[in-house]
Amino acid sequence: MMTYREAIKKSMDLILKEVPDSAIYGLGVTDHIGIFDTTKDLEQKYGKDRVFETPISEDSMTGVALGLSLGGIYPVHIHIRADFLLLAMNQLINSIAKYRYMYGGLYEAPMLIRAVIGRSWGQGAQHSQSLQSLFAHIPGLTVIMPSSAKSILNSYEYVAKHYKNPVISFEHRLLYDYQFENLEKEENPLSSKLLKEGSDITVIATSIMNEEAIKASNFIDKNISLEIIDIHNITDMDRELILKSVRKTKKVIVLDTSWVSFGVCAEVSRIILEENIHLKMPIVNLGMEKATCPTAKLLENEFYTDLKDIVDSIYKLYYEKENHNKTLPSDEEVSYLHKHFRGPF
């Protein structure tokens, strides 16, 4: 058993131990919180040269990652909120994503950028965003959303040791305390994963929405069988895995942690609609409502898709009608963790 948080901490330690020319830095990596206890004590263990704080200068510190990478140091740059990546868009998109291609393959810019999606108690407009599709749009970047401890352990070791391109990893704050049993080695850590085989409905999900899909699968009537696909690699999702499943079930729900339009939901729908597959029911896309994230709890609960929405959609698809008269999860069953999380932020 291992929590998501422990898996990240273990991976950070492993990178510093087994990738000799590596460095971990970012605002807060050496303070008492240590990026939610994923970087604590690393400075003492590996030294100030390899684990260090930065000024509050996200754009420049992102360019520094590129310089370090070109200089042969593998950088892990950490943002305690994904929203801060918006201050580094110029470096990420104009320089880092393009360095390899623009110079005709003369350079490689391997690096890992960790960014935490801050969804939880009152994080509001600027501390909660899920920005994966903004970055996934850009050729040259690899965007991943590890959904489990296993995914963290495999992905982070792999990208630090073997992958030669810049990776942005979105970690979900609410996953940090989830316990995971399965920690086995994966052969292709950067691929999409079949989490559960099934025959009635294909659920394609990102990040914590995979946990929601599993909860939904456990909640619904036992005669309904879900196939769950964890996209994981947002920039290079496994088309064949998705299409094979959709051809089988002909019913699809896409679950994303972000806005539906122009995002992962839109992209998965595109991939499916470009094929000649006759779906039995229209695709269902579930994500955040098209508004800025509100702070007040009641509004926040309405803003995010929850287990109730997912189970409702499953029954509608399965019975092919709006009124299925099935029992939906109670408020308490929706998610104890999501509703009672009180930090640390």
Partner 1 sequence: MSYEELFYRALRIRLIEEAIIEIYPSDKIQSPVHLSIGQEHHIVSFIENLKLEDKIFTTYRNHGVYLAKDGDLKLMFAELYGKIDGISKGKAGSMHLTYPKTGVMGSSAIVGAIYSHATGFALSQKIKKEDSITVAITGEGATEEGTFCECLNFASLKSLPIIFLIENNGLAINIPLYKRENYKIKNLAEAFNLDYFHFANGFEFENINRETDKIVQSVRENQKPTIIEIDTYRYKEHVGIGEDYDKGYRDISELKKWQDIDPLIQDRKLIEKFTPKIEKEIEEAMEFAENSPFATREELLKDVL
Of 60 and 188, CB closest to partner 1:
60
Q: DSSP character for 82?
A: G
- Beta-carbon contacts of 317 under 8 Å, excluding residues fewer than 6 positions away, are 201, 251, 253, 281, 284
From the CB of 192, what's the least distance to partner 1, in Å? 16
Counting every residue written for the chain, the total comes to 345
From the CB of 257, what's the least distance to partner 1, in Å? 24
Assess contact for 117 and 71: CB atoms under 8 A. Answer: no
- The Cα-based distances of 312 to 130, 208, 282, 334 in angstroms read 24, 18, 15, 12
Cis-peptide into 344, omega within 30 deg: yes
Q: Which residues pair with 112 in a beta bridge?
A: 76, 167
Q: What φ, ψ does residue 70 adopt, rounded to 5°?
A: -65, -30
Of 65 and 242, CB closest to partner 1:
65
Of 91 and 285, CB closest to partner 1:
91
Applying CB under 8 A, the residues found at the interface with partner 1 are: 21, 23, 49-50, 54-55, 57, 59-73, 75, 90-91, 94-95, 99-107, 139-140, 142, 165
* Half-sphere exposure of residue 200: CA atoms within 13 angstroms, side-chain side: 16
Q: How many CB atoms lie within 10 A of CB 67?
A: 12
Of 167 and 209, CB closest to partner 1:
167
C-alpha to C-alpha distance for 67 and 81, rounded to whole angstroms: 23
Residue tagged 């559960």 (tokens)? 196
Q: Which of 323, 143, 117 is nearest to 236 (CA)?
A: 143
From the CB of 267, what's the least distance to partner 1, in Å? 17
From the CB of 116, what's the least distance to partner 1, in Å? 22
From the CB of 67, what's the least distance to partner 1, in Å? 2
C-alpha to C-alpha distance for 263 and 207, rounded to whole angstroms: 14
From the CB of 108, what's the least distance to partner 1, in Å? 9
Of 94 and 327, CB closest to partner 1:
94
Of 142 and 269, CB closest to partner 1:
142
From the CB of 30, what's the least distance to partner 1, in Å? 14
Of 30 and 285, CB closest to partner 1:
30
Of 21 and 197, CB closest to partner 1:
21
Residue tagged 């599993």 (tokens)? 214
Antiparallel, parallel or unpaired: β 22-26 and 74-79: parallel
C-alpha to C-alpha distance for 127 and 116, rounded to whole angstroms: 9
C-alpha to C-alpha distance for 138 and 182, rounded to whole angstroms: 33
DSSP state letters, 322-336? S---PPPPPHHHH-H
Of 9 and 50, CB closest to partner 1:
50
Q: At what angle do helices 4-18 and 149-162 cross, to 10 degrees?
A: 20
From the CB of 59, what's the least distance to partner 1, in Å? 6
From the CB of 91, what's the least distance to partner 1, in Å? 7
